[in-house]
Amino acid sequence: MTIVMTSLASIALSSCSAHDSNADGQNSVETRLDKKLGIIHFPVEQFSVSADEDDTLTSAYTIKVAECANEQGVRFYPSAPTHDIANITSNYFGVWVKEYAEKYGFVGAQSDADLVANGIKGAPHVTHRGTLASRNNGKLTDEEWNVVDACHAHAKAFDSRTIAPNGPWAKAANAATNSALASEAAEKVESSYDACLKAADLEPDPGNPGFVRGSDVNVISPQQIALALKVVSCKTQVHYVESLSELVADAQAPTVAKYHKELVAQRRRIDAALVKAKNVIADYQRDHPDFK
C-alpha cells in the first residue's frame, strides 16, 4: 500500500539507511505516501519531529520532570504516550482514504475520546475520565508548581525544540511547498479534480481545495460520509494526492539537497532521543502499571 515517488532532483524522503546509495555514506531520502494509514511524508518534514514522535518525547520529558519533583516531595504525574491516530495520519489535502471517509466523513481521523472532546456532532458516546495527570496535576498548589517548573531543566534531553530546532530549511521548504501548490501543474490537477466532482454533481469549494460545498469538518453523519466517499472517489480517479505530493517533493528537493548534512544530523539526533525516550517510558511503566 506504500508507493514511492522519486523527485526530479533525485532527492526523496526518509531516513532509512537500508536504501542508502550515496557515495558519501549519507542516509538516502525517499518520498512516500501510505494509502492504508493515510500518511503523507513531505521531504523536509521527514527530518523533523512528527506529532507521534513528539508524543513519545513529551511522555519521557514529563517522566523526568516527575522524578525530579517527586524527589522533592511533590507528587507530579507524567503524561503517558497516546499514539493517537490523529498524530499519525495526514489530512493535508482533506479526506482521501476511503476507510476514514466511511468512519469520519470530513472530520480528521482521531480517537473517540478526542471526537467527543472536540465537540464533533455524531461522535460516539464514550466516557473519558481523563488520565492520572489530567485528574491530579491540577490540584497542585502554586508552591508545588514552582518545584515542578524548576524540574524542567532535568528533562532537556527530551525537549523536541532543542533536539530539532527550526533551521533555515523550514522557511525555504514552506515557500517551496506554497509555490508548488500554486503552480500551473497544480492547477491542472485541481482542474481534473473539479471536473470529476462536477460530473458527480458536486460543487468544488474554491476557498478550500480538497473539499466541496456542503462538507463539514465538525459533523459525522450518513450525509457527510456519503459526500466524503464521493470526494475520495474523485481524488482516487485523478491521483489527486499523489500528483500534488510529488509536486511538493520536487519543489522541496533543492532545500533537502542544500541542507542535507544538517537535516541528516538532526534526524539522527531525533532517532537517538526516541530510543532513550522509549527506554525511559518502558522503565516507568514497569514500576507504574497504571501509567496509561
Q: pTM score, two decimals?
A: 0.82
Reported as a single tens digit per residue, the pLDDT across 39-57 is 888 889 889 999 999 999 9
- The rounded distance, in Å, linking the Cα atoms of 289 and 213 is 48
Confidence check: pLDDT of 26 > 60: no
Distances (CA, A) of 86 to 113, 160, 210: 12, 19, 18
Grid coordinates representing 187 are 492547477
pLDDT-derived band at 23, boundaries 50, 70, 90: very low
The widest CA-to-CA distance across the chain, in whole angstroms, is: 67
Beta bridge partners of 3: 33
The pLDDT score that the predictor gives to residue 88 is 85
Closest by CA to 6, choosing from 32, 26, 24, 25, is 32
- The rounded distance, in Å, linking the Cα atoms of 10 and 234 is 29
CB-neighbour burial class of residue 168 (10 A; exposed 0-12, middle 13-18, buried 19+): exposed
Reported as a single tens digit per residue, the pLDDT across 173-215 is 999 999 999 999 999 999 999 999 999 999 999 888 889 999 9
- The rounded distance, in Å, linking the Cα atoms of 229 and 225 is 6
Reported as a single tens digit per residue, the pLDDT across 103-156 is 999 999 988 888 888 899 998 887 666 788 888 899 999 999 999 999 999 999
Contact between residue 281 and residue 63 where contact means Cβ atoms under 8 Å apart: yes
